[in-house]
Structure 1
Amino acid sequence: MSNRARGRAPRDPARSTPRRVIAVTACAVFVVGGSAGCFAEPSALPAMRDFLIAWQVGNYKAAARKTTGTDQSAVAAALGQVRGQLDAASLKMALGVPVQPGTDRSHGQAITKTGDAADAKFSVKVDLGENGQPWTYTGSMKLKRIDGKWKVQWDPSIIHPSLKPGQRLAVVTEVPARAPIQDSAAHPLLRKVNAAIVGVYPGQLRDPKKTVEQLANATKTAGGQKLDSERLLGRVRSAPPHAFLPLLTLQKPANNALILRLQQMGGFQVQNVQAPIAAQLAPELVGTLGPATADRLQQVGAPYQPGDTIGASGLQLLQQRRLAGIPTVRVVAQDPDGKVRQELRSWPGLEPQPVRTTIDRKLQPRAELALSGLKVPASMVVVRPSTGEVMAVANHLTQGRNLAMEGRYSPGYTFGIISAQALLNGGMSQNTPTECPATTTVGGQTFTNPGQARGKSTLQMSFAYSCATTLANLSSRLDAGALVAEADRLGLGKNWGLSVPAFSGSVPRPANEAQKAATMIGQGGIQVSPLAMAMVAGAVETGTWRPPYLLNDPRDPQQGVAAQPLNPVPTSDMKKLMRRSVFQGTAREANVRTGANVSGVVAVADQGGKPVSWFVGSRGDLAFAIAVEGRANTAKLAAGFITGTPAVPAVASG
């Protein structure tokens, strides 16, 4: 563990309780104390009360003038440093000691007078920020009447009863090592990389404010987000002066220029380490770590502070609290040499816990390898349809975006799986006679077949050769409601309940015959993700639709949700249609002869004037979908995934 000071959100002094109200409240507490009420001892009370009020509102010179301190500047400085040493969001005092129900009221008395001397008690409430209950304790002071006027006898113990001369308060945070993100077998999905921990020794900084502002500006230039310099300054000031305070963890060599620039600024110290902070597999899913900028802190909230290294994307961000745990916070009294003399209060934290995913250690590298030869963005999802487990999430050249789960693409002819399933549910069979003309007109709109016309055939053969005109013509056999309902049965547009962002698809209801024909072939504004289409293929393979899940621990809530069986006879026919497409149709280059047969559909969809190439299919208890932002032989990509060899098909961007 490393000791780190904990920053807090600054509070507007104008929001503090008004002086007049404080005085009334203090008097009320004092009255409750019993015989030593406001009017019983009016002489000592005002001096004590005015001292506490001045301290609370930050008028430290006025507070010092109420004391016997020979060096009032030193007294004012000591009182003024308390907020900074604690990085307190607020500091409030009240006369006396709060009386618990059933307790002798005399225990709550504020002042006990003996001649020209008095002992006084007061309560202190320190808001340390965003980490639970405030720190409350009972303070005490002595007062003395000098020339008829009461004065507070200055002593550092007024700040806290345990504080000795020369000592200061400090807040120390013990940050545990971050827990790993794991695959389905509990092996880490992270790898150790060279990194630099950038920090400071607070007591060595000539100008802490300038140093903090330099750090905030440097990180903004590097990453586009900025550290909260005001909160970070509070953290530096409250840290033990002689202990190294980590402020930033930067991965090498990507951040070498920033590390060098910070070293050249002066004031910053760099410790080189090896840390498990980089994703070994599925980087877009696993995510990254980064500095706790203001924007990120709004997402993860307490108890993390500027200067912490927290999740910046992916599971690292979504599971930040579980992976990082909660630090242990201690308020301590510290000697001038930096030695912690005494712990005054502590708040125990929570130990980090790993996050175990459903990612398969063998399938994930194969999915990444299958896409590795492409020169355009591509993504792939592999699921186990018998359970709903997401076994591989591969993204290639997607600039950190998890398009395998969150992408929004036009499905093109792969939506024909839903359309054909609806037709089969409506009474057609795989052997129903069909035609595959070069063009057809439905509702005044002309549709063109992407391949050559094939004349008369069966539904199975027309589907195998991706006859878009066939499905467009057959739209007359379905009403719009039946088509949309089939998409819903196969999971499109549903709330899957995943604990990570995912797009389940969107299928607008066709308003007329032309739109219905367009919907049949995956046009008409339909959008899907690779994950959504992999689940469709998996439902056909197993005859049952199940929601996907990605986390085993903590357990995704949709595990164990009742499966939704499909109509067995039409689904059996649908499997044959998809198998025929691979066996001799447009997806035949995926027909590898190893183990179970491959079934699937290929398509090139139009995405705003740009092509998206698809493969959607299955093999045994694996279902998968590939989307490539360009023209690609996705059947070869599927074969490469199955055999574990990379395929390098020709790809054009337009």
Structure 2
Amino acid sequence: MIGVVRLSHARQSFRTFRRPVAAVALGVLAAGSVVACSSGPDQPKSVAEEFASALTSDDVQAAAALTTDPAAASTAISALIDGLGKDEGTFTVSDATESGDSAGTFTLDAAWKFGEGQDWNYSTQGNASKSGDNWLIQWDPALLAPDLTSSTTLRYTPTTGAPPSVLDAAGQPIMEQQVVTLVNLNSAAVPPVDTAAVAALLSPVAPTITATSLSGDLASANGKPVTAITLRAEDLAPIEERLAAIPGVSLAPQARLLSVDKTLASPTFSGLSDLWQEGQDKSAGWAVQQVKQNGTVTTVAGQDGPVAPNIATTIDRPLQLAAENALAGVTQQAAIVALQPSTGAVLAVAQNAPADAQGPIALTGLYPPGSTFKTVTTSAALQAGVATPDTVLACPGTENIEGRQIPNDDEFDLGSVPLHTAFAKSCNTTMARMAVGLPADALHNAALQFGVGVDYVTPGLTTVTGNVPDANTPAERVESAIGQGTVTATPFGMALVAASIANGTTPAPMLVKGQPGVADQTVAPAPTEVTEQLRVMMRETVTGGTATSLQDIPGLLGKTGTAETEGGPAHGWFVGIKGDLAFAVFIAGADSSSPAVQVAGNFLR
């Protein structure tokens, strides 16, 4: 805490709060004329009270006119109001004594209220004297505030402590406050900014910046400055002098929360930044500072805020890097979400640049989940007693079911096979036919058991899981059974499905350690034997089904998915479980699940 500073002219006390900074250096202002006061035994008190009233009303000229040096007083009072705030100070006279017929002393009490809990109270001593028929305040800047001089000013400012860090699961900083520099171009510069020279310096850092792109930005700026790029310190250092030397280019440093490793760019960082800012806001204190003409600052009142704690996240940095690297070569929108089934910890959330252009699709992008939804369909069928894993069912290459022509991928035909084989081989016809006899709410309820359709309020994390409406007709159930129709899910939602199957119950998602998400509803988990049977089927998918290209990865369980779209290529999916890791891979417009399976392999290997 900043302690109370006791000065030669004052008694001071204060409490806490914050408000915007305001400060103005002293300058010379013209003063008003002196106000006459009639003679009398209480004149020191009377003139002091008039002075205090004028100060409280922020009436600079009236207060200055009551002093022996109106010009100097006007300058100092104006600076005081500018620095500490209009309508913030209240002045009263608590004592006044007349010494003889032409002199007296008084005590001036000041109370500044900068906001709730931010009070600065002090007292100063003043002198009054009679000059002819007038009583005037002997001007001294220290009458306004303790130790104030003609060469100092006061200002109110909020304060913050040392900025906290955002830590990864290992306790190492993953995000910290850093100084970045905005490279601003003056679109009204004459002559125009040399965009070729600017682009030559910036393109090694940002290859998309060209002289043509910069010229286009300047042409459409309507005279406003254009920020060409924001550079980290290590990127700015080699080119700073040459950039600054280009006419029309200005460099503006700012403090921002950034990832320590600039290759990390998780969608989770936005929510973590918001949490970090909330901590900084709560840690704000305040100070009244005395500023000398040479810029020297001394704090005379105020209080520091509480220390903002570091934010400990569940992000596994090596896994996050692996996820980002696995997506690096994908040209379509793509995302990976990885969770820890036993705790719900968010281990990695990554997406590539095309996905970034659409927003945080890994967490909130809704898409048909295709055959990955067969995990839910099979769970619903097992719970309804429609089949067991060993029930032999038909898997024709294509079949008209309830007016919908349902084909398998490339219309493969397995004949009649056990359900576990139909699952591993991803038979659309088997799943669609099996769903016809399910209750209207069966798929909806089974999805809720795995977290899809549940909303979570999770500190630092904004998510959507998906939506599985009741399928009120057999035709609707046919489409929903294979993850089409009105069924949608996010990559996060499908990762939660995998985590629920791995854990036996849906874990509450958690990004900040010790702060799990809160669900909007309580759903009983699927029966233990059902999730056990699903795990066996997902293992068969890898060892002998549609994901055999991943069979070299020990213990991997999975389910592939291809989701048809209107007017474009199908989306590709893969959901997997490996030990205490559950994840989902999504690639928009991949035309099959194969690219998602390949990305999953790159991620795990």
Q: Would the TM-score normalized by the shorter structure come out above 0.5? A: yes
Aligned to 2:29: none
Report deviation, 1:285.
Answer: 4.0
Alignment of structure 1 residues 52-131 onto 2, 5 Å: 52-69=52-69, 72-86=70-84, 88=85, 90-96=87-93, 109=94, 111-114=96-99, 115-128=101-114
1:331 aligns with 2:288: yes
Aligned to 2:391: 432
Over residues 116-171 of structure 1, what are the superposed CA-to-partner deviations in whole Å (9 max), with x where a residue is unaligned?
44444444343546x85233333443333444444333210122032234322245
Report deviation, 1:75.
Answer: 1.9
Aligned to 2:530: 570
Aligned to 1:284: 266
Report deviation, 1:424.
Answer: 0.5
Distance 1:8 1:194 in 2: 22
Give 5+ residue unaligned stretches, structure 1. 1-5, 11-39, 97-108, 199-216, 225-247, 288-312, 644-654
Letter in 1 for 2:548: R
Distance 1:518 1:627 in 2: 20
Over residues 427-471 of structure 1, what are the superposed CA-to-partner deviations in whole Å (9 max), with x where a residue is unaligned?
121122323344445554444444314243332222222222322
Aligned to 2:121: 136
Letter in 2 for 1:347: Q
Aligned to 1:463: 423
Report deviation, 1:251.
Answer: 4.9
Query: Relative to 1, partners in 2 of residues 1:393 and 1:268: Cα closer, same or farther, differing over 3 Å?
Result: closer
Distance 1:264 1:347 in 2: 44
Letter in 2 for 1:589: S
Alignment of structure 1 residues 5-404 onto 2, 5 Å: 8=20, 47-69=47-69, 72-86=70-84, 88=85, 90-96=87-93, 109=94, 111-114=96-99, 115-128=101-114, 132-171=117-156, 176-190=161-175, 195-196=180-181, 221-222=226-227, 251=233, 253=235, 278-280=260-262, 282-285=264-267, 287=269, 313-322=270-279, 326=283, 329-340=286-297, 343-397=299-353, 398-399=355-356, 401-404=359-362
8 A contact 1:503–1:529 mirrored in 2: yes
Moved over 6 A (4+): 191-194, 217-220, 254-276
Over residues 457-488 of structure 1, what are the superposed CA-to-partner deviations in whole Å (9 max), with x where a residue is unaligned?
33222222222232222222211222211111
8 A contact 1:281–1:364 mirrored in 2: no
Query: Relative to 1, partners in 2 of residues 1:562 and 1:394: Cα closer, same or farther, differing over 3 Å?
Result: same
Distance 2:248 2:292 in 1: 27
The alignment-based identity, stated in percent, is: 26
Aligned to 2:203: none
**TM-score, normalised to structure 1's length?**
0.69
Distance 1:458 1:184 in 2: 43
Number of corresponding residues: 525
Query: Relative to 1, partners in 2 of residues 1:157 and 1:571: Cα closer, same or farther, differing over 3 Å?
Result: same
Over residues 517-543 of structure 1, what are the superposed CA-to-partner deviations in whole Å (9 max), with x where a residue is unaligned?
222222233332222211211222232
Where 1:82 maps in the other structure, the secondary structure is helix
Distance 2:292 2:104 in 1: 30
Report deviation, 1:490.
Answer: 0.9
Query: Relative to 1, partners in 2 of residues 1:521 and 1:48: Cα closer, same or farther, differing over 3 Å?
Result: farther
Distance 1:600 1:607 in 2: 23
Over residues 69-110 of structure 1, what are the superposed CA-to-partner deviations in whole Å (9 max), with x where a residue is unaligned?
1xx233212111113334x364231424xxxxxxxxxxxx35
CA RMSD of aligned residues (A): 4.2
8 A contact 1:600–1:618 mirrored in 2: no
Distance 1:451 1:325 in 2: 59
Aligned to 1:420: 378
Where 2:416 maps in the other structure, the secondary structure is strand
Aligned to 1:37: none
8 A contact 2:468–2:487 mirrored in 1: yes
Which of 568, 575, 589 in structure 2 is aligned with 1:616? 575
Give 5+ residue unaligned stretches, structure 2. 1-17, 23-39, 184-221
Report deviation, 1:583.
Answer: 2.2
Where 1:641 maps in the other structure, the secondary structure is helix
Distance 2:259 2:541 in 1: 44
Query: Relative to 1, partners in 2 of residues 1:176 and 1:77: Cα closer, same or farther, differing over 3 Å?
Result: same
Query: Relative to 1, partners in 2 of residues 1:370 and 1:353: Cα closer, same or farther, differing over 3 Å?
Result: same
Query: Relative to 1, partners in 2 of residues 1:318 and 1:89: Cα closer, same or farther, differing over 3 Å?
Result: farther
8 A contact 2:129–2:138 mirrored in 1: yes
Query: Relative to 1, partners in 2 of residues 1:426 and 1:354: Cα closer, same or farther, differing over 3 Å?
Result: same
Query: Relative to 1, partners in 2 of residues 1:261 and 1:111: Cα closer, same or farther, differing over 3 Å?
Result: farther
